[in-house]
Amino acid sequence: MPRPPTMADLAAHVGVSRQLVSLVLRDAPGASDETRRRVREAARELGFSPHVAARSLRRARSKDLGVIFAPAHSTEPEIVEAIYPAAAERGYDVMLSAQTATRSTDQAVEELLGHRCAALIVIGSDLKHTGLRAVAERSLVPVVDVGYGRRNQFYDVVRSSGDRGIEELVDYLAELGHRQITYVDPASMPPGPLRRRGYERAVKRLELAGDIVSMPGDYTEGNYFEEVGAAAARTLLERRELPTAVVAPNDHAAVGLLHTLIRNGVRIPDDVSVAGFDDALIARLSSVDLTSVRQDPGLMGVSAVEAAVRRVEGQEMRPRETVVETSLVVRSSTAAPRKRG
């Protein structure tokens, strides 16, 4: 298997010096139109592709944004998708590194640092503040946390306004006429406290009774949240009277709750309105059709790139916090409360 052609090969093929080939391929001034044409043609003919390792070795500063993400998570792929065009627009390449069950965030960080990325974007990491701070201090490079972090002086934070999202959701339910709105709180969910604050603010402002069903247990991915929702539903069913609306800060929990209520003869939304958070795929299933709060993953990706580039290019070295607005998605799982006899 022959090795891929280098600039020297192109130069020999065309009959010029290697430096001139470099000039042409970099679109730098100093070559005649005719030469440019011939070099480009040779590049196409020989199937040349620049050796990025050599290039980034020579270049002092790199033009790569390192992105750490967990393929198993559901919303992160959309963020990753948005990062590519946003980075390209600003002249940066993207280098992905996955964090999986068998591959820690630290390993992913180490790989990206090995590639001398200009900045690290960490999406939905399992790292807490101290972990991220350690990464930021070790890497000597701007770090952007996309997820649930809070403003700090070590790394940038991009998060969605979960509190305002929940607040808006409760407002909407109240406008429909609901006065008894229960909130299911999966205690250990990372973005939990923030979203709960939104509920508490709305309850206070609207002068509602307020009712929080707190569900303990460790945070894990996947179907766990469905169980949390089902358990919360059972708790509610044991009461003398159901609330007219239930909010869960997670779609999977809301779906578990919804189905458990239905199976126990509760009609949705006639008897009880149910709403979730995330606008996950299951919320959009026609059989579920769950009112939810949508985070804008595209905007989060773009914001992350903006934050990284801002600090890489030294315009503003202090880490910031970027809050991306959420939006309410009303579906058929919520409606005005029925008048109760």
Q: Is 47 in the site for DNA (CB under 7 A)?
A: no
- Only one of the segments 54-62, 82-90, 152-160, 186-194 lies at the binding site for DNA (rule: CB under 7 A); that segment is 54-62
- Only one of the segments 47-55, 73-81, 119-127, 201-209 lies at the binding site for DNA (rule: CB under 7 A); that segment is 47-55
* Nearest distance, CB of residue 284 and a copy of itself, angstroms: 6
Q: Which of 37, 41, 45, 55 binds DNA (CB under 7 A)?
A: 55
Q: Which of 2, 30, 314, 341 binds DNA (CB under 7 A)?
A: 30
Residue in the structure block whose two tokens are 């059972």: 234
Q: Is 16 in the site for DNA (CB under 7 A)?
A: yes
Q: Is 138 in the site for a copy of itself (CB under 8 A)?
A: yes
* Nearest distance, CB of residue 100 and a copy of itself, angstroms: 4
Terminus-to-terminus CA distance in the chain, angstroms?
82
Cβ nearer to DNA, comparing 4 with 177: 4
Q: Which of 282, 300, 308, 309 binds a copy of itself (CB under 8 A)?
A: 282
* Nearest distance, CB of residue 286 and a copy of itself, angstroms: 6
Q: Is 271 in the site for a copy of itself (CB under 8 A)?
A: no
* C-alpha–C-alpha distance, residues 244 and 335, integer Å: 10
The total number of residues shown for the chain amounts to 341
Q: Choose the one of DNA, a copy of itself, none that binds residue 176, judging by a C-beta under 5 to 8 angstroms depending on kind.
A: none
- Only one of the segments 7-15, 18-26, 77-85, 151-159 lies at the binding site for a copy of itself (rule: CB under 8 A); that segment is 77-85
CB-based contacts of 178: which residues, under 8 Å, 6+ apart? 244, 245, 273, 336, 337
- Answer yes or no: are the C-beta atoms of 334 and 245 closer than 8 Å: yes
Q: Is 35 in the site for DNA (CB under 7 A)?
A: yes
Q: Choose the one of a copy of itself, DNA, none that binds residue 320, judging by a C-beta under 5 to 8 angstroms depending on kind.
A: none
Q: Is 326 in the site for a copy of itself (CB under 8 A)?
A: no
CA-angle at 137, arms to 134 and 139, nearest 5°: 100
Q: Is 237 in the site for a copy of itself (CB under 8 A)?
A: no
Q: Choose the one of DNA, a copy of itself, none that binds residue 31, judging by a C-beta under 5 to 8 angstroms depending on kind.
A: DNA
Site for a copy of itself in 190-229 (CB under 8 A): 222-223, 226
Q: Which of 12, 25, 208, 262 binds DNA (CB under 7 A)?
A: 25
Q: Is 138 in the site for DNA (CB under 7 A)?
A: no
Q: What is the 3-state secondary structure (H, E, C) of the chain?
A: CCCCCCHHHHHHHHCCCHHHHHHHHCCCCCCCHHHHHHHHHHHHHHCCCCCHHHHHHHCCCCCEEEEEECCCCCCHHHHHHHHHHHHHHCCCEEEEEECECCECHHHHHHHHHHCCCCEEEEECCCCCHHHHHHHHHHHCCCEEEECCCCCCCCCEEEEECHHHHHHHHHHHHHHHCCCCEEEEEECCCCCHHHHHHHHHHHHHHHCCCCEEEEECCCCCCCCHHHHHHHHHHHHHHCCCCCCCEEECCCHHHHHHHHHHHHHCCCCCCCCCEEECCECCHHHHCCCCCCEEEECCHHHHHHHHHHHHHHHHCCCCCCCCEEEECCEEECCCCCCCCCCCC
**Amino acid at site 314:** G
Q: Which of 37, 41, 45, 51 binds DNA (CB under 7 A)?
A: 51
Contacts with a copy of itself, residue ranges (CB under 8 A): 1-4, 47, 49-54, 56-57, 60, 71-72, 76-78, 80-81, 84-85, 93-98, 100-103, 110-111, 113-116, 138, 140-141, 222-223, 226, 230, 255-256, 258-259, 262, 281-282, 284-288
Contacts with DNA, residue ranges (CB under 7 A): 3, 6-8, 16-20, 22-23, 25-26, 28, 30-35, 48, 50-51, 54-55, 57-59
